[in-house]
Structure 1
Amino acid sequence: MEYNYKELEDISEFLKVLAHPVRLCIVRGLLSNGGCNVSHMQNCLGVPQSTVSQHLQKLRTAGIIEGERRGFEIIYKVVDQRTAKLIDVLINKEGQ
């Protein structure tokens, strides 16, 4: 068997970023709603805004989400299609 170790390492890091219940909840919510701001996420999750912001930073750094400024707020949305497919398989369980 031949493995591209760098590619597997990148996938492993991607999965580590998603491997937190709050981040999974954020991503699932963004996919369901098409995007939203930090205040909306904070209200849905029931955690402090600073906690949401920390999780958003990890997701942004991994290239999973992006934010678009609209006036005084930033609307976040999922931009990584692997993430959408993975959430469908793991959480939404499409096809079952």
Structure 2
Amino acid sequence: MAHPVRLCVLDKLINEGEKNVTEIVDCMDVTQSNLSQHLSKLRDLGIVEARKEGNLIYYSVKRKDVISIVKVIMRGAE
């Protein structure tokens, strides 16, 4: 979770709600492939959940404790 790309993704999902990979790809200027790997890791850890709609997969933060932690971390980064 401490990886800068993962923090950016989580912050975006927390503040903007459910997103697909294309809508998140601007985090830290990573490729879609690299972002998908980070999202896969977050899913494996049970931090985010995915919902498929047609060809797209939408991600959202699953755990409320993670939301609190990310908010504290991102507030300190300002």
Larger relative contact order (CA 8 Å, sep ≥ 6): 2
* Map of 1:60 onto structure 2: 43
Q: Which ranges of 4 or more aligned residues in structure 1 deviate by more than 3 Å?
A: none
Provide TM-score, normalisation by structure 1: 0.73
- C-alpha RMSD of matched pairs (Å): 1.1
More strand by share: 2
Q: Deviations over 1:12-54 (max 9, x none)?
A: xxxxxx1100000000000011110001111x22211110011
- Higher-Rg member (1/2): 1
Number of equivalences: 75
**Structure 2 residues without counterparts, runs of 5 or longer:** none
CA distance in 1, matches of 2:30, 2:2: 18
CA distance in 2, matches of 1:39, 1:66: 16
Secondary structure, counterpart of 1:66 in structure 2: strand
**Structure 1 residues without counterparts, runs of 5 or longer:** 1-17
